[in-house]
Each structure stands twice: as structure tokens, then as C-alpha cells.
Amino acid sequence: MKKTLSILLLSMLPALALAAGSHGGGHEMKNGTMMQGHDMSSMNKGDSAAGQPGDAAKVTRTIELVMDDTMRFTPSQFNVKPGETVRFFMKNNGKIPHEMVIGSVAELKEHAAMMQKMPEMKHAEPNMITVNPGQKGGLVWQFPQATGTVDFACLVPGHMEAGMVGKVKVG
């Protein structure tokens, strides 16, 4: 019995490893398949002018944002100090999903165009969060240098184009 159980458990390890998926982030389609050739890692590298993923233990303040179906973030603009690590706490008061994606305007526009072509895409990157209707969520971000302005937007198809954008003034 022990031998049979051992063989059964060992034979399941490869299946469990595959089920765990990739831990490198990326995009998953609604049907569970991973998108190939679309890597958002350029939007969350430490040398990005937009900043980098922050350490939750170093958060200096929390900024609460409300998302709703008027296609707006409230507030849509705020100031941070260079080096500050912020926890963004989002609440979706709408009836449809919304997201917050931090990046440059060029990166946001490029990704929004990709989302138009593949609207079932799910995000798994530290600079992005999707919040379902009536739900709350958060992410921690560090703004290591005085860059002027860092942008964020909702990249659900049509939302950024409808004005669901915001700015963080770093300085």
C-alpha cells in the first residue's frame, strides 16, 4: 500500500508543477491560456521613470482611489515625494471591472491598444490591478526619483479613451 501511494504521489508532481504556472507575471486569457509575446515587464522594472514595485513594510502613506462607471478615478491627481513608497487602495463603486495600471503615457497607450485586440486578458504584474464591481484592492509602488509626472489609467477597452486616467506628480 505504501509503495502504491508513493508512486501515485510522485507521478502527480509534474502535473502539480504545471498547474502552478509561471511566477514571472504576464497576461492570462479568460480561458486560462497564457499570452505569448506580450510581456509587460518593461512597465515595472526598477529603472523605470514610472517607479518600481514597493516594499509594503516601507509604505509611508495610503492613497485611496475610487473607480466608477463614469470612467474616472477620484482623485485623479496627487503628489508624492521622491523616494516615497505608497499603498494605493482602490474601491470599485461601479457595475463593471476597472483597473489601475501605472506607466508612461506611451506604455499605457501601447498596452491599451493590445487590450482592444484581446479584451479577455487578465493582468499579473506589480504595476497593475483589476478590481471587480463592488470590490476593493491595492498595490504598493515606490517613486524613487523626481520624475515630474507618472501616469496611470484603466486599460479595460474603451475606459482610458473615455478619460479614465490620472497623474502622480513626483517632486
Whole-number average pLDDT of the chain: 78
Q: Does 36 fall in a domain? A: no
Closest to 156 in 3D by CA, of 126, 127, 119: 119
Residues 135, 164: contact at Cβ < 8 Å? no
Contact partners, residue 92, CB within 8 Å, separation at least 6: 67, 68, 98, 131, 132, 133, 134, 135, 136, 137
> Residue 2 has what pLDDT?
53
pLDDT for 73-129, tens place per residue? Answer: 999 999 999 999 999 999 999 999 999 999 999 999 998 888 888 767 676 789 999
What percentage of the chain carries pLDDT values higher than 90? 58
What percentage of the chain carries pLDDT values higher than 70? 70
Q: How many CB atoms lie within 10 A of CB 3?
A: 7
Q: Does 12 fall in a domain? A: no
Q: Rounded distance, CA 94 to CA 73, Å?
A: 11
Q: Does 132 fall in a domain? A: yes
CATH of the domain at 118: 2.60.40.420
Residues 63, 89: contact at Cβ < 8 Å? yes
> Residue 102 has what pLDDT?
95
* pTM (two decimals): 0.72
Q: Does 38 fall in a domain? A: no
Decide if pLDDT at 53 tops 80. Answer: yes
Decide if pLDDT at 24 tops 80. Answer: no
Q: Does 57 fall in a domain? A: yes
As for how many domains the chain has, the answer is 1
Decide if pLDDT at 8 tops 70. Answer: no
Q: Which range has the top average pLDDT, 106-110, 111-115, 154-158, 165-169? A: 165-169
> Residue 1 has what pLDDT?
54
Q: Which range has the top average pLDDT, 10-14, 25-29, 139-143? A: 139-143
Q: Does 47 fall in a domain? A: no
Position with higher pLDDT, 8 vs 120:
120
Q: Enter the DSSP assignment of 44.
A: S
Q: Calculate the CA 143 to chain-centre distance.
A: 16
Q: Rounded distance, CA 139 to CA 43, Å?
A: 15
Q: Does 153 fall in a domain? A: yes
Position with higher pLDDT, 72 vs 120:
72
Decide if pLDDT at 133 tops 50. Answer: yes
End-to-end CA distance of the chain: 67
Tell me the mean pLDDT in the region 38-56: 65
Domain that holds residue 109: 52-170
Dihedral sign for Cα 66, 169, 48, 85, please.
negative
Closest to 138 in 3D by CA, of 47, 65, 35: 65
Q: Does 34 fall in a domain? A: no
